[in-house]
Structure 1
């Protein structure tokens, strides 16, 4: 177990080193972060246009929280890159388990996602004239961390699909995130959707966590908050388990059939 945690830690350091190669602090701040802030503001302003201030606040909160999901699911691209560059094949023949390295490969996106979300959480509501209640807004922060982690498990499952469908990783990422953004209570209430669809949405990340955050901000019952947070945690565990199972099946088949080839 200690060895696995050490491997995950080294994988995170590798990911952060990649981030430093991709971005400077200027390009990240004025490029990527600015893009995310504009995205959340855009949807919030649409909410104000079609509704009122309460609608704008509802949409803004949902889209700020969704930023943590967006960045966490970028793990799809990192995992597909492991097969494209041939390193997945090397992990598959290594004497130890490949799962700690594989499932930890995109954890740096959780770190950057939480950073982006925190900046948006602190700046956008007062900037757009819909400030959040304090200290309730601070109490909601652990729930945002939980959503980022469960979304990462969801992203790992999508990443396993991308390993099977190499070349479609961007489509898989955008469709996977788009489903969450559209249906999981980010822009419209869950009651908007028919009952069969709501049953399916209960198994997606963000759905329960975002409800818990809205309850915290409304100073709602603690029992409801812990109930929704517990469901979000169970959803995340489920996605991690499915991701590990699907990856094991893919790698096992690759070992038998020699199909974990380089794909430059």
Structure 2
């Protein structure tokens, strides 16, 4: 079974690369898509400076740079939901292999693009905006972006299971999944800003713990302070991955039983 999942995962990677090439050239990706994302981050960072001070600007800048990988990773919601419109869902449901790795691998190009966008933002925006980051501490902090992106991708796959079931709501599902992370999970304001009863709930979302780990590294914290946050971010990602697997399986199982997997529904 493991070999089969790896083979299907490899094919999903190849398909994702081919799909990304149909969406973007390197020029449109870099000077169109990434430039637009970096402009968004710059806007929020400058708002932070305008309303407060340089420290707030750095806080907002770091949070929004890391959030880019979350934003792009969660486009997997639209990618997976689109499979039903294209009519490939019933074909996968009838295939003599698991549909799970195929579906969970459908947005890998957005995962890779999100990581690349955050890394570019990490390297370009702080010196451009005059926000110094502590080097070499910023290097391992940048590496944590990979874990955050994976965790957010798993969360997006779970939401995609809902979007496949209710295809007309796919954009709403994406926005309602992403906007709470931007608002509540420490991107623009600290977690301590929110009510005490809400804060433990926010640790169940992706990005929250990973972003806290990044901020701890940048503040010169010890790795004994950082590792628990990284472990929790990984556990959150694994949890959302498990829920995504169950969600996708339920859609297919129910569709097989009541015939709701047909093209376009």
With normalisation by structure 1, the TM-score equals 0.98
Counterpart in 2 of 1:16? 17
CA distance in 1 between counterparts of 2:52 and 2:27 reads 36
Q: In the alignment, is the contact (CA less than 8 A) between 2:122 and 2:142 conserved in 1? A: no
Query: Counterparts of 1:85-104 in structure 2 under 5 Å?
Result: 85-104=86-105
Q: Report the CA distance between 1:3 and its aligned residue.
A: 2.0
Q: Which consecutive residues of structure 1, in runs of 5 or more, have no partner in the other structure?
A: none
1:64 and 2:65 are equivalent in the alignment = yes
Runs of 4+ with deviation above 3 angstroms: none
Q: In the alignment, is the contact (CA less than 8 A) between 2:60 and 2:187 conserved in 1? A: yes
Counterpart in 2 of 1:118? 119
Q: Report the CA distance between 1:129 and its aligned residue.
A: 0.5
What is the total number of aligned residue pairs between the two structures?
A: 264
**CA displacement 1:59-79 (0-9 Å, x = unmatched):** 000000000100100000110
Counterpart in 2 of 1:240? 241
CA distance in 2 between counterparts of 1:252 and 1:111 reads 30
SS in 1 for 2:198: helix
CA distance in 1 between counterparts of 2:123 and 2:233 reads 24
Query: Counterparts of 1:182-197 in structure 2 under 5 Å?
Result: 182-197=183-198
Q: Report the CA distance between 1:142 and its aligned residue.
A: 2.5
CA distance in 2 between counterparts of 1:108 and 1:12 reads 8
CA distance in 2 between counterparts of 1:88 and 1:229 reads 35
CA distance in 2 between counterparts of 1:113 and 1:99 reads 22
1:263 and 2:255 are equivalent in the alignment = no
SS in 2 for 1:261: coil
Q: Report the CA distance between 1:143 and its aligned residue.
A: 1.1
SS in 2 for 1:105: coil
With normalisation by structure 2, the TM-score equals 0.98
CA distance in 1 between counterparts of 2:135 and 2:36 reads 26
**CA displacement 1:11-31 (0-9 Å, x = unmatched):** 111112111111122211121
Q: CA RMSD for the aligned pairs?
A: 1.0
Counterpart in 2 of 1:44? 45
CA distance in 2 between counterparts of 1:215 and 1:22 reads 37
Q: Report the CA distance between 1:141 and its aligned residue.
A: 2.3
**CA displacement 1:214-260 (0-9 Å, x = unmatched):** 00111102111000000000000000000101111111000011101
1:211 and 2:231 are equivalent in the alignment = no
SS in 2 for 1:168: helix
